[in-house]
Amino acid sequence: MSQFWKPGSEKPRLLDDEEGGVLFYSASASSSSGFGYSNIEKQRQRLPVYKYRTAILYLVETHATTIIVGETGSGKTTQIPQYLKEAGWADGGRVIACTQPRRLAVQAVASRVAEEMGVKLGEEVGYTIRFEDLSKTGVTMVKFLTDGVLLREMMDDPLLTKYSVIMVDEAHERSLSTDILLGLLKKIQRRRPELRLIISSATIEAKSMSTFFQTSRKRRGLEGEESGPRTDPAILSVEGRGFNVQIHHIEEPVPDYLQAAVSTVLSIHEQEPMGDILVFLTGENDIDAAVQLLNEEAQNNGKHSSGLVVLPLYSGLSRADQDLIFSPTPRGKRKVVISTNIAETSLTLEGIVYVVDSGFSKQRFYNPISDIENLVVAPISKASARQRAGRAGRVRPGKCYRLYTEEYFVNEMSAHAIPEMQRSNLVSCVIQLKALGIDNILGFDWPASPSPEAMIRALEVLYSLGVLDDDAKLTSPLGFQVAEIPLDPMISKTILSSNQLGCSEEIITIAAILSVQSIWVSARGAQRELDEAKMRFAAAEGDHVTYLSVYKGFIQSGKSSQWCYKNFINYHAMKKVIEIREQLRRIAQRLGIVLKSCERDMEVVRKAVTAGFFANACCLEAHSQGGMYKTIRSAQEVYIHPSSVLFRVNPKWIIYNSLVSTDRQYMRNVISIDPSWLMEAAPHFYRQQRNPIAS
């Protein structure tokens, strides 16, 4: 087993050992030795978490679960895995895992840690995100991965035997996958007492997490006290070194947070001393718009904005753009990073002195009554607002400008966000647990219980998809095959149906394209040109078929970036599509799907989509103005999104891929269908509806 504190050195001081297993340590003397540290080594030692190195290693050695709470930027993510490796937790072919809810964070921290360790990314330090594996079995010792990927790994190795320590990072985010993972890890711990868990986060109700991991049985063998770790969790809190942040609220509510954010940036630039600015908006669209507004300002009105370097930060970003975010600001310039809430706690940017907080983020909401899940721009919680403000105090005292009133902050904002588990569609969650052999899902030990209604809805959909049988067990082979494909079960079912329909090549292309954010370049100010470009590919059947022509064009152009540029297509997204498509082909072949093209027969493509997405069928309201549709499932009012090629075309029967909600519920990626296919695809599902298909 690993040794960590140097013989003869002081044992960390214990403040509160027995009370519910809560331990606090004061920083003990550093255990470093040697001389001639490189710059990087010095930087590492300056991080707040360094003072707790010995304490952390001691707790991990002696406790099955250690909960570490520490301010963002204190070094939890980048340092703790390295400490564990230095202490020997990766010896003998074992691997240290560190999970993140976000793909971009996985890539960014892995490359940072590889750099700090002076190794090539993908060797000793690697990462795995869906469709991208930069790790080597037998070589990689520290592996960063999304929590979703770790869940997938459980399908092949249910006890995750190759890992010695699993650090579940950013646990305060309470993402759906994090919660499922925590529930499963608790089970694994019982079978693998030697496994160590670290739950780490920026803010967390450490007590409730600790209660969750408290096992009722006090110790595993009573007499075997020395042989295994204590099963009650330890809690360690890392004191940060954040500077004071002055908070400014707006006096009157703003009608347009985007515009307000842009003018706030400009006035900071005009009036405040040097220091970078971090702006929190909600997603790719408003971020790109803000970037463009600021750049236009620079062109038209140079004196307000000269010296600004404006950069977007969101998950679809290419590696090159990510690197720009982390590179130091050029002398005499001021960097403005406009970000989603990824910069709230997952990533730390050096040099931020000013934060502009819109008060919003994109959040997932699910209504089990209507069975509708969508992404909504919604107010953040007080906890998030505090985190965002904290980003301004990294290097020196900073300022945070909130684009909402103090009254609103105090009286309207909720204290904490609701765990995603309680506001998500649970179809993917249920199928994953089923695939892991967990049958009593309602009785599963969750960190936060999902609603029974949502669970029942999920079971219903999976039953209709033919994935679960009457006893709610995975069907064979379909259920197991659907679970095997790392995509939403509805897409997976579409892929499997394409096998019988003879259009697997086309459906795999569509699945790959639906896996990237958008293949179009966002074109503010050039909307007309973008629409014209789209028209060159547009197919009467809808977006899915349109994507097939884009893909074909891209391949025929020899995968040319020039061609993409000319056609308003995002070249990086298309390269990603090619990669994902290749992986999906491999998975399909492994599942025995015959790769076959249907050539020009688009009817089978539409039928395959129907086989997976029948639950998302909608019908145009006969006498409605302005293209109102109703979902067949629950008669919800929905509209075709303006980005769809079927916008204003409004065919009578359509199926959508997903919903986004702004002023209305908009359907993204729609395809026209024949209603008779619905009964064919899911007789059970549609028999019970008072359905308009019959009328």
- Of 77, 99, 201, 387, the one binding Mg ion (CB under 5 A) is 77
Of 75-83, 281-289, 295-303, 328-336: span binding ligand CDP (CB under 6 A): 75-83
How many chain residues are in contact with Mg ion, going by CB under 5 A? 1
Q: Per the structure block, which two tokens stand in for 67?
A: 């909960």
CA distance 369 to 483: 25
| Between 71 and 541, CB nearer to Mg ion | 71
- Of 23, 95, 98, 108, the one binding ligand CDP (CB under 6 A) is 108
Residue pair 84/60 in contact (Cβ under 8 Å)? The answer is: yes
**Per-residue binder mask for ligand CDP (CB under 6 A), 294-333, x = binder:** --------------------------------x-------
Minimum CB separation of residue 480 from Mg ion in Å reads 36
CA distance 682 to 492: 16
**Per-residue binder mask for ligand CDP (CB under 6 A), 84-103, x = binder:** --------------------
Minimum CB separation of residue 76 from Mg ion in Å reads 5
Minimum CB separation of residue 40 from Mg ion in Å reads 18
Tokens 């308009």, residue located = 692
Please report whether residue 66 would count as binding ligand CDP according to CB under 6 A.
no
Query: Of 31-50, which residues contact ligand CDP (CB under 6 A)?
Result: 47
Of 75-83, 258-266, 398-406, 606-614: span binding Mg ion (CB under 5 A): 75-83
| Between 108 and 287, CB nearer to ligand CDP | 108
| Between 148 and 612, CB nearer to Mg ion | 148
- Of 63, 76, 423, 576, the one binding ligand CDP (CB under 6 A) is 76
- The conformation of residue 34, written as its DSSP 8-state character, comes to -
- The conformation of residue 63, written as its DSSP 8-state character, comes to B
Residue pair 616/657 in contact (Cβ under 8 Å)? The answer is: yes
Please report whether residue 70 would count as binding ligand CDP according to CB under 6 A.
yes
Measured CA to CA in angstroms, residue 5 lies from 11, 237, 370, 427 at distances of: 8, 19, 57, 46
CA distance 130 to 135: 13
Which of ligand CDP, Mg ion, none interacts with 112 (beta carbon under 5 to 8 A by kind)?
ligand CDP
CA distance 196 to 303: 56
Query: Of 265-304, which residues contact Mg ion (CB under 5 A)?
Result: none
Please report whether residue 100 would count as binding Mg ion according to CB under 5 A.
no
CA distance 207 to 189: 19
Please report whether residue 135 would count as binding Mg ion according to CB under 5 A.
no
Which of Mg ion, ligand CDP, none interacts with 70 (beta carbon under 5 to 8 A by kind)?
ligand CDP
| Between 65 and 74, CB nearer to ligand CDP | 74
CA distance 52 to 25: 8
Measured CA to CA in angstroms, residue 465 lies from 218, 352, 452, 475, 506 at distances of: 43, 49, 20, 10, 21
| Between 73 and 368, CB nearer to ligand CDP | 73
CA distance 678 to 74: 54
Minimum CB separation of residue 78 from ligand CDP in Å reads 3
Please report whether residue 198 would count as binding ligand CDP according to CB under 6 A.
no
Q: Please spell the DSSP secondary structure of 467-525, one letter per residue.
A: SB-TTS-B-TTHHHHHHHSSS-HHHHHHHHHHHHHT-HHHHHHHHHHHHSS-SBPP-TT
Minimum CB separation of residue 348 from ligand CDP in Å reads 4
Q: Determine whether 120 is exposed, middle or buried from the number of CB atoms within 10 Å of its CB (0-12, 13-18, 19+).
A: exposed
| Between 83 and 547, CB nearer to ligand CDP | 83
Sign of the CA dihedral with 214 first, then 215, 220, and 222 last: positive
- Of 28, 77, 494, 669, the one binding ligand CDP (CB under 6 A) is 77
Within 373-421, where are the H helices? 382-390, 406-411
Please report whether residue 348 would count as binding ligand CDP according to CB under 6 A.
yes
Query: Of 125-164, which residues contact ligand CDP (CB under 6 A)?
Result: none
State the residues that interact with ligand CDP by CB under 6 A. Answer: 47, 70, 72-79, 108-109, 112, 326, 348, 350
State the residues that interact with Mg ion by CB under 5 A. Answer: 77
